């Protein structure tokens, strides 16, 4: 998973690092996201996982009652792994908590994305001693949704590539400004 996460950063640099502010913020339509919004969405959503990953890495994470007892953790994990695949089968609306900025986003979004990705990959590496199957975390979106750390990593890395693919589709749009 860590290697696939590193690939996300390489893809972002290769595809978008040379683009200007106008190109990064161009949207195919009012309902669709720009490249910058795709990247901002990833930064915003991944940031919500950092507190729990930092606790797991430090060994101070204590699962709450629901995380220890929910019979649905495996179900939620598998469902989200299947829903958030890199290749979009069904378009989903991002939860309010994970929505990107609606206004223009500065070109430093690429640096912000890669800096945050480095932190995420470092945290993943620091959590290697944790039992990925038995360490259960709660979704930042809902206290009812829990899944194991292994599924969380799969969800987060697939989610990275899903939105990088979305941003590449924006760049490849025939009306994209050159």
**pLDDT (tens digit, 9 = 90+) per residue, 69-112?**
999 999 999 989 888 877 766 676 666 667 777 778 988 999 99
State residue 89's pLDDT score. 67
**pTM of the full predicted structure?**
0.91
Long-range contacts at 26-35 (CB < 8 A, ≥ 24 apart): 26/170, 26/176, 26/177, 27/170, 28/170, 28/173, 28/175, 32/170, 33/100, 33/166, 33/170, 34/105, 34/170, 35/167, 35/170, 35/171
Mean pLDDT in residue range 114-121: 96
154 or 1: which leads in pLDDT: 154
**pLDDT (tens digit, 9 = 90+) per residue, 8-67?**
999 999 999 999 999 999 999 999 999 999 999 999 999 999 999 999 999 999 999 999
* Tally of residues, the chain: 178
State residue 45's pLDDT score. 94
Return the CATH class of domain 2-171: mainly alpha
Task: Report how far residue 12's alpha carbon sits from residue 10's, in angstroms, rounded to the nearest whole number.
Answer: 6
State residue 84's pLDDT score. 83
Domain ranges for the chain, please list them: 2-171
State residue 95's pLDDT score. 65
């Amino acid at each position: 998973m860590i290697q696939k996460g590193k690939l996300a950063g390489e893809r972002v640099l290769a595809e978008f690092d040379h683009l200007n502010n106008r190109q990064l913020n161009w949207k195919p339509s009012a309902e669709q996201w720009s490249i910058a919004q795709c990247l901002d969405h990833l930064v915003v959503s991944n940031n919500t996982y950092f507190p729990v990953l930092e606790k797991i890495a430090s060994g101070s994470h204590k699962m709450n009652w629901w995380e220890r007892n929910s019979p649905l953790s495996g179900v939620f994990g598998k469902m989200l792994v299947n829903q958030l695949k890199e290749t979009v089968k069904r378009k989903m609306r991002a939860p309010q908590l994970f929505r990107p900025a609606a206004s223009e986003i500065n070109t430093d979004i690429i640096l912000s994305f890669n800096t945050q990705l480095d932190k995420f990959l470092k945290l993943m590496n620091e959590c290697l001693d944790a039992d990925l199957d038995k360490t259960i975390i709660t979704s930042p979106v809902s206290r009812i949704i829990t899944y194991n750390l292994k599924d969380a990593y799969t969800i987060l890395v697939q989610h990275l590539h899903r939105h990088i693919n979305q941003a590449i589709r924006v760049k490849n749009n025939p009306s994209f400004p050159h």
